[in-house]
Structures are given as structure tokens and as C-alpha cells.
């Protein structure tokens, strides 16, 4: 994530410095922001424990039901998930 953020900061710096306002630079900034958002852990919607005491819940982005196995990412949309429960 830090590398994505570095790349985004650099790209924004360059586009400002050279006053680049074309669609390609805008799209690249949007794509990098998407990657940063996906790599930033987001809490599950409505976390609960299923019948086997496995922590479960729903992806906050696409709504796919998730079970806490070894996967830190939603298998559907790729969002990184935060499994902590308060
Ligand atoms: Zn998802």
C-alpha cells in the first residue's frame, strides 16, 4: 500500500508541476486511488459467528458473505478485509 501511495503522490506532484490535465493522467490517478482503497483493510458489515464459531460477515464493498479462514481479501472484489471485532 505504501508503494501505491508513493506512486500516487509522485504522479500527482508531476501532473501539478507540469500542469498535465489529460485523461490518461486522470485515469492513472483514479486507478492508483482504487488500488490504495482496496489494499486498505475495511471492516466487515454485520460480523457474526456462524454455527461452527467461525467469524463471518459481509464484504463492505460488494456485500459477498465472508468466512474468516486464511483469506484477508474478498474473493469477489479483492477488497482487503479487517477481521477485528470490537
Ligand atoms: Zn467484496
> Are 20 and 35 part of one and the same domain?
yes
CA–centroid distance, 60 to ligand 1, in Å, is 7
What 8-state DSSP symbol labels residue 73? B
Please, what's the b/e burial string for 41-69 (b: 16 or more CB within 10 A of its CB; e: otherwise)? Answer: eeebeebeeeeeeebbbbbbbeeeebebe
Instruction: Tell me: do 52 and 32 sit in the same domain.
Output: no
pTM check: above 0.95: no
What's the domain range around 35? 2-39
- Could you tell me if 48 and 75 lie in one domain? yes
Give the pLDDT score at 2: 85
- pLDDT reported for residue 1: 58
| Alpha-carbon gap, residue 65 to 57, rounded angstroms | 6
Residuewise pLDDT in 10s, the chain (86 residues): 588 899 999 999 999 999 988 998 899 999 999 999 999 999 999 999 989 888 999 999 999 998 886 678 999 999 999 998 87
Cell of 38: 482496496
Query: 51 and 31, same structural domain?
Result: no
Q: How far is the CA of 63 from the centre of ligand 1 (A)?
A: 6
What pLDDT does residue 70 have? 62
Domain count within the chain: 2
Amino acid at each position: 500500500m505504501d508503494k501505491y501511495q508513493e506512486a500516487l503522490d509522485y504522479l500527482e506532484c508531476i501532473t501539478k508541476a507540469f500542469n498535465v490535465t489529460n485523461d490518461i493522467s486522470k485515469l492513472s490517478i483514479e486507478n492508483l486511488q482504487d488500488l490504495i482503497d482496496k489494499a486498505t483493510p475495511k471492516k466487515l458489515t454485520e460480523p457474526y459467528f456462524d454455527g461452527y464459531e467461525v467469524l463471518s460477515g459481509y464484504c463492505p464493498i460488494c456485500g459477498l458473505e465472508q468466512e474468516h479462514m486464511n483469506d484477508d481479501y474478498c474473493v469477489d472484489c479483492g477488497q482487503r478485509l479487517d477481521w477485528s471485532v470490537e
